């Protein structure tokens, strides 16, 4: 039986989950895949974590060079997170010819070129299934299941924290700040929630996934990003009246060679399968030109789900050896990116309740080539009223121009919310 020596970097939630799976399912992997995977060393400074998992202390090291210099270790699996020191550890491992498996989306998204160069130099495999959508095999699906397709579009709920918060706002009417506190109390959100609620985590993931889907590097700086912190229950409730559910979406499209990648809150029609994905669950909808629609659903975070993706990559790396995937297909040029994108819009504004107001607003939208689809007005109070418009499909730049002109109208008190509809 083939023996595979593995080192784990980091024994926190994800590293601990990976270790447990490798112990618990070692026999299964032997039988099903003909591989005997042994954890040879673990890099972690905290003996409490390794003791809690009954790891022999002789396996624990504080020094990455103990791992790099050990010829019995062929695969290094990283679950430290962040850029430093993970980046230097992984580059060392790759250049030394060890396959690397990582869950680190920030590192993959920000240091893509350096990691690929190191893998090429060391003729080593570089695998990162666990970096996107946790336990859901999205990368395997893109790379090994959709080779016959031009991938036209990808839309996903790729961040469980924000999906938990938006679900609480939708289902219980909890306002954003209370829903965030609840998510923090339950361990879904970090004490500093910025990476999740401001859309950074989702933007790392869509940069990685769109690069794989479109076969050239889509750098992070080309991903448009907006988070959920200004979303109110009022807008979610208006959306419900209009048959829509609010989600933080990561979207990537290839429109006839023009690439777009973006992360922002968006209303989706209740009939769309993404509308039903609630709580901390993730899901991704893919559209291939041959296969049509594919939908993947599951846990995007957590010890065992993310560990499951890491172990899958370890098995994959052990079977394939060196770099299986060629990630070095160059980078899209600036001119390959769509300068604008189109979608429908939801717009809520507060206006004076005077005759002619609606007409003036509609005229300004019309002059700016924005076609209105529906208007909802109620709860007139003290002479002014909230109005909700939805539009037909229009360009983002066009919409921003139209909104600037609408804000100039005397009868418009403010534009309180603008949310895209996908």
Residues 102-121 that bind ligand HSE (CB under 6 A): 105
The residue nearest ligand HSE at its CB is 161
How far is 211 from 219, CA to CA, in rounded Å?
8
**Which residue in 161, 245, 254, 308 binds ligand HSE (CB under 6 A)?**
161
Q: Does 156 bind ligand HSE (CB under 6 A)?
A: no
Both tokens of residue 54? 């009954």
**Which residue in 136, 301, 364, 387 binds ligand HSE (CB under 6 A)?**
301
Q: Which is nearer to ligand HSE, 195 or 388 (CB)?
A: 195
Residue 108, CB half-sphere, CA atoms under 13 Å: how many?
Answer: 31
Residues 345-384 that bind ligand HSE (CB under 6 A): none
How far is 36 from 406, CA to CA, in rounded Å?
66
> Which of 296, 277, 276 lies closest to 285 in space, CA to CA?
296
- What are phi and psi for residue 264, nearest 5 degrees? -165, 160
Note the helical H segments in 125-241: 138-140, 160-172, 176-185, 194-197, 200-214, 233-241
**Which residue in 78, 106, 129, 196 binds ligand HSE (CB under 6 A)?**
196
**Which residue in 300, 305, 307, 386 binds ligand HSE (CB under 6 A)?**
300
Q: Does 193 bind ligand HSE (CB under 6 A)?
A: no
Q: Does 160 bind ligand HSE (CB under 6 A)?
A: yes
Residue 205 a catalytic site member:
yes
Span interacting with ligand HSE, options 155-163, 321-329, 356-364, 411-419, rule CB under 6 A = 155-163
* Nearest-approach distance from CB 159 to ligand HSE, in angstroms: 4
Which SS3 state, helix, strand or coil, does residue 28 take? helix
Choice among 41, 92, 110, 205 that is catalytic = 205
* Nearest-approach distance from CB 218 to ligand HSE, in angstroms: 18
> Which of 198, 341, 331 lies closest to 260 in space, CA to CA?
341
* Nearest-approach distance from CB 18 to ligand HSE, in angstroms: 14
* Nearest-approach distance from CB 307 to ligand HSE, in angstroms: 13
Answer whether 154's CB lies under 8 Å from 210's CB.
Answer: yes
Residues 319-348 that bind ligand HSE (CB under 6 A): none
* Nearest-approach distance from CB 210 to ligand HSE, in angstroms: 16
Span interacting with ligand HSE, options 118-126, 153-161, 209-217, 405-413, rule CB under 6 A = 153-161
Q: Does 239 bind ligand HSE (CB under 6 A)?
A: no
Answer whether 310's CB lies under 8 Å from 77's CB.
Answer: yes
Peptide bond into 85 cis (omega under 30): yes
Sign (positive/negative) of CA torsion 159, 165, 170, 172?
Answer: positive
Q: Does 201 bind ligand HSE (CB under 6 A)?
A: yes
b or e along 232-249 (b: 16 or more beta carbons within 10 Å of the residue's beta carbon)?
ebebbebbeebebbbbbb
Which SS3 state, helix, strand or coil, does residue 376 take? strand
Q: Which is nearer to ligand HSE, 103 or 318 (CB)?
A: 103
Q: Does 78 bind ligand HSE (CB under 6 A)?
A: no
Q: Does 159 bind ligand HSE (CB under 6 A)?
A: yes
Q: Which is nearer to ligand HSE, 106 or 396 (CB)?
A: 106
Length of the chain: 422
Answer whether 131's CB lies under 8 Å from 282's CB.
Answer: no
- Nearby residues of 150 by Cβ (< 8 Å), 6 or more positions away: 254, 288, 289, 290
Span interacting with ligand HSE, options 50-58, 157-165, 385-393, 405-413, rule CB under 6 A = 157-165
* Nearest-approach distance from CB 94 to ligand HSE, in angstroms: 22
Answer whether 131's CB lies under 8 Å from 105's CB.
Answer: yes
Annotated active-site positions, please? Answer: 205
Binding residues for ligand HSE, rule: CB under 6 A, are: 105, 159-161, 196, 201, 300-301
């Amino acid at each position: 039986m083939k023996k595979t020596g593995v080192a784990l970097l980091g024994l926190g939630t994800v590293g601990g989950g990976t270790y447990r799976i490798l112990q618990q399912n070692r026999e299964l992997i032997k039988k099903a895949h003909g591989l005997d995977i042994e954890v040879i060393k673990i890099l972690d400074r905290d003996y409490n974590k390794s003791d809690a998992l009954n790891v022999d202390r002789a396996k624990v090291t504080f020094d990455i060079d103990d791992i790099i210099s050990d010829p019995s270790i062929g695969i290094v699996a990283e679950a430290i997170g962040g850029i430093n020191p993970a980046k230097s550890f992984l580059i060392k491992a790759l250049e030394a010819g060890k396959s690397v498996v990582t869950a680190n989306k920030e590192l993959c998204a920000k240091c893509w070129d350096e990691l690929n160069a190191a893998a090429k130099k060391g003729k080593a495999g570089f695998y990162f299934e666990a970096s996107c959508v946790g336990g859901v095999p999205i990368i395997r699906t893109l790379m090994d299941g959709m080779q016959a397709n031009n991938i036209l579009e990808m839309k996903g709920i790729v961040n469980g924290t924000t999906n938990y918060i938006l679900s609480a706002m939708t289902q219980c009417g909890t306002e954003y700040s209370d829903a965030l506190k609840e998510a923090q109390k339950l361990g879904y959100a970090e004490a500093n929630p910025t990476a999740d609620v401001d859309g950074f985590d989702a933007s790392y993931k869509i940069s990685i996934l769109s690069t794989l889907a479109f076969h050239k590097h889509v750098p992070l700086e080309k991903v448009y990003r907006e988070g959920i912190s200004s979303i109110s229950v009022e807008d979610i409730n208006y959306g419900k009246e209009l048959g829509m559910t609010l989600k933080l979406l990561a979207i990537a499209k290839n429109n006839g060679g023009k690439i777009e990648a973006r992360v922002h809150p968006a209303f989706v029609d209740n009939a769309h399968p993404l509308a039903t994905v609630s709580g901390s669950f993730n899901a991704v909808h893919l559209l291939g030109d041959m296969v049509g629609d594919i939908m993947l659903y599951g846990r995007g975070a957590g010890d065992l789900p993310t560990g499951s993706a890491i172990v899958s990559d370890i098995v994959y790396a052990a079977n394939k050896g060196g770099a299986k995937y060629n990630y070095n297909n160059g980078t899209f040029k600036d001119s390959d990116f769509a300068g604008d994108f189109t979608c429908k819009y939801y717009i809520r504004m507060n206006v004076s309740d005077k005759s002619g107001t609606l007409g003036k607003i509609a005229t300004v939208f019309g002059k700016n080539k924005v076609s209105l689809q529906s208007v909802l007005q109620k709860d007139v109070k003290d002479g002014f009223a909230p109005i909700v418009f939805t539009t037909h499909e229009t360009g983002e730049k066009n919409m921003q121009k139209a909104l600037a002109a609408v804000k100039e109208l005397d009868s418009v008190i403010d534009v309180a919310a603008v949310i895209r509809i996908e």
